[in-house]
Amino acid sequence: MKTITVLSGAGMSAESGIPTFRGLNGLWEGHDIMKVASPTGWRDNPALVLEFYNVRRRNMVNAQPNAGHLALKRLESQYKVQIVTQNVDDLHERAGSSRVLHLHGEIMKARSTSSPDLVYDLKPGQDILMGDCCDLGSQLRPHIVWFEESVPLYSDGVEWMEAADVVIVVGTSMKVYPANLLVNHARPGVPIYVVDPNKPDFLSGRDLHFIESTATEGLEKVAELLMA
């Protein structure tokens, strides 16, 4: 069975009603990026950071997987599909995809501030509050990879990309480091299907197939092509 490795970004979830994180003028939902998504912001005002992610978690309750998520699930009938996502939502999993790697963390989980290996599942819409502690007695924080932090699962993403017989890139501007480097690890000659209304920049010399559509329309086209 051949392997498809998918790199998905914010455009993948936008059609499910989840707004993209990065807005105009360097703001995320009205907040300066570094105040809600950095260790410095956490140290300065942890209550603000917690509430920022609590609001996003509540907004996810009514979000549903879209046709693009379901198209990737259908591909599992003929391929080994492994999804490396920059998204922190759980829509890939809710669509039924069985192999999902979250480069930037998972909003439906909390983790200890003293021991990163202590990770806890959250219920839909559940808040993390000041005073909520891990088993060691340390404050819980969102299980999110912030700016200025390393991306611990990046090496796993590289391995998944190296194993690909087909690559699909969907809903990402290819500007977020280091996720934008992952496609460079695909083997020469591997076809790369790029689904996005706006063509992201790619290195030349690749077997590129651009589908200038939204995630829902574009992934249905790719799934139909690959399953023919």
Instruction: Sketch the domain layout of the chain as residue ranges.
Output: 1-18+65-104+152-228, 19-59+108-144
d(CA 160, CA 163): 5
Provide CB contacts within 8 A for 114, sequence distance 6+: 134, 136, 138
Tens-place pLDDT, residues 55-71? 999 988 889 999 999 99
Q: Are 213 and 60 in contact (CB under 8 A)?
A: no
Tens-place pLDDT, residues 157-200? 999 999 999 999 999 988 888 888 999 999 999 999 999 988 87
Mean pLDDT of 124-135: 96
Tell me how crowded residue 193 is: count the other CB atoms within 10 A of its CB. 22
- Check 104, 143, 185, 209 and give the catalytic one: 104
Strands (E), 25-123: 27-28, 31-32, 80-85, 100-102, 105-112, 119-121
Q: Are 226 and 166 in contact (CB under 8 A)?
A: yes
The arrangement of secondary structure in 19-59+108-144, i.e. its CATH architecture, is: 2-Layer Sandwich (3.30)
| pLDDT on residue 177 | 84
Residue 23 has pLDDT above 60, yes or no: no
Provide CB contacts within 8 A for 109, sequence distance 6+: 119, 120, 121, 122, 143
Label residue 24 by pLDDT band (50, 70, 90).
very low
pTM: predicted TM-score of the whole model, two decimal places:
0.93
DSSP string, 104-116: TEEEEEEEESS-T
Write down the mean pLDDT value for the chain. Answer: 92
Domain spanning 1-18+65-104+152-228: CATH 3.40.50.300: no
Q: Is 104 annotated as catalytic?
A: yes
| pLDDT on residue 20 | 66
Burial class (CB in 10 A: 0-12, 13-18, 19+), 101: middle
Question: Which residues are paired to 121 by β-bridges?
Answer: 109
